Structure 1
Amino acid sequence: MFSMSVDTSRKARIEEMRRADKSRERRNRIVAFSVGGAVLAGLIGFGAYVFTKESDRKNSEVADAKGPIKGEKVWDAKKLGRTHVTKQVTYPMTPPVGGDHHQAWMNCQGDVYKKPVPAMNAVHSLEHGAVWVTYNDKAPKADLDKLAAKVKKTQYSLMSPLQEQAGPIMLSAWGKQVTVDGADDPRVNRFFTRYVMGPQTPEPGAACSNGVTLDASGAPVMGGGMRE
């Protein structure tokens, strides 16, 4: 009888241990499920946050791209002359954003000129859809280096010094112009995005090569010449 009592007690303890193990397993599953659910919810929430922020950023960029550029000056393109002339033209704005011009355009395949270019040839480049970056001696060299790098990788753009202009750094397209604070001014990218071969272009698809460039002395020449 003593042996049977011991066996019964042992079985009871074993059964109790099994129940305890099962109880722990259930608790662990519940905890794991709860933690997993919280992590999943967190990931979903974070993903939704990132998606919302990215969506807001893209919507902001679209709205920004369509909105006015702060400080931009605009001229009526229809009132800007487009006649090819040989006599010197006096433009009402510096740098000019349109008007009668020379029949040969200034090369604008990302050309960075270290010396002033003839305005009448540069205006013809604007007619073809180019953006013209100009600067005077008040512009910081670091900004000019950044702008030169941007121009060099942008077809239908050119850059040259122009001491007579009012602002240190100015961007011009046909009928459009803005003075910017520096190379990192967000208006630089907006102006390029909007106006390089943009809707303001009187002659879309016209060439920006095989026109006028500058030789080593800074004199205008037809053809390859000096391109930096």
Structure 2
Amino acid sequence: MAKDPQPENGRGAGGASRGGSGSSRSGGVPGKGAGGRSTSSRATGPQGKGRTRPPANVVTQQKPWGLIAAAVAVAVFAAAVLTYAVLQVNESNANRVTSIDQLADLRSYEYAAGQEHVTTDVDYTESPPVGGPHDGEWADCTGTVYDVDIRHENAVHSLEHGATWITYDPEAISDADLSTLEELVDGRSGLMLSPYAGLGSTISLQSWNHQLSVDSAADERVEQYVDFMTFNSEIEGAYPEIGASCENPLFITDPIVEGDPSRGTDAMVTDAPTTTEPAAEETSTP
């Protein structure tokens, strides 16, 4: 008698095992969903199209306020310095003398060129003298400060070379005024300073054919006279020996004092009179 057929091992009715197996295939493959489509990390962008990109970093530029402030500060400082400099120049020019007539109380004389060179003492009309016969050796006038009353005949020769000779009464001048004069003269070419006994005023300034007396070194005319008169060959009655030297090292180290004799031919520097024209015998004041 025949036996009923038995289902084979692992197979259920209608292939359930296969279905189970198939179900396992469809759901057990990583990264795939139904129908075998990928479910990987490739995400879709907006509206399911293409890839998404990370958002761009937007950098906002900041204005360099520190540099701007520094530049403004520098500009303001420069403008202030320039303004100050202009004001100083204008103030200086306001006090500058451009004509001999602007020097109040200036006395002028008429000593001609070609004054005689002598080794003897000269009895000058003016005190201090402003021209006339003089020693063949000139006193050093390279901004020289003397502490002795230098021999007048040598000083007049320096005036002939264009120098300004500042003298002061040692009995009348204050320490402050003397210090001011020393600072003004020291090392400035064309100037010399010395005490002068019995001056008659506190301070007196001399150049060839010109003279000015003041009571104080703070008088603005002191610097005006020095600036305008020293080596000025264009004024009326200007010094005769234009371009002559002011240097005499021997006179610095060994100045001849008023009342001492001339060095004569022993002098290191001498020159001849500028011309042979007769010299003025007298002086005149305006």
TM-score by structure 1 length? 0.67
Which structure has more helix as a fraction of its residues?
1
Offset, 1:187: 0.3
Q: Amino acid of the residue matched to residue 179 of structure 1?
A: S
**Is 1:173 matched up with 2:211?**
no
Please say which structure displays the higher CA radius of gyration.
2
**Is 1:128 matched up with 2:136?**
no
The alpha-carbon distance between structure 1 residues 183 and 82, as it changes in their structure 2 partners (threshold 3 A), is: same
Alignment match, 1:151:
185
Offset, 1:71: 1.2
Deviations for 1:53-96, whole angstroms, at most 9, x for unmatched residues?
A: 8897577445x432431111110233x76111122210001000
Q: How many residue pairs get matched?
A: 175
Gaps of 5+ in 2: 1-82, 269-286
Which of 1 and 2 has higher RCO (CA within 8 Å, sep 6+)?
2
**Is 1:201 matched up with 2:236?**
no
The alpha-carbon distance between structure 1 residues 171 and 216, as it changes in their structure 2 partners (threshold 3 A), is: closer
Q: Amino acid of the residue matched to residue 184 of structure 1?
A: A
RMSD between aligned alpha carbons? Answer: 3.0
The alpha-carbon distance between structure 1 residues 153 and 84, as it changes in their structure 2 partners (threshold 3 A), is: same
Q: Amino acid of the residue matched to residue 192 of structure 1?
A: V
Deviations for 1:133-179, whole angstroms, at most 9, x for unmatched residues?
A: 10111011110111011111310111111112111111000011011
Measured in 1, the distance between the counterparts of 2:137 and 2:161 equals 11
Which structure has more strand as a fraction of its residues?
1
SS in 1 for 2:156: helix
Deviations for 1:117-139, whole angstroms, at most 9, x for unmatched residues?
A: 01000000000000001011101
The alpha-carbon distance between structure 1 residues 180 and 212, as it changes in their structure 2 partners (threshold 3 A), is: same
The alpha-carbon distance between structure 1 residues 217 and 196, as it changes in their structure 2 partners (threshold 3 A), is: closer
The alpha-carbon distance between structure 1 residues 205 and 139, as it changes in their structure 2 partners (threshold 3 A), is: same
Measured in 1, the distance between the counterparts of 2:88 and 2:191 equals 31
Among all aligned residue pairs of Structure 1 and Structure 2, give the percentage whose two residues are the same amino acid.
Answer: 32
The answer to whether the 8 Å contact 2:161/2:246 transfers is: yes
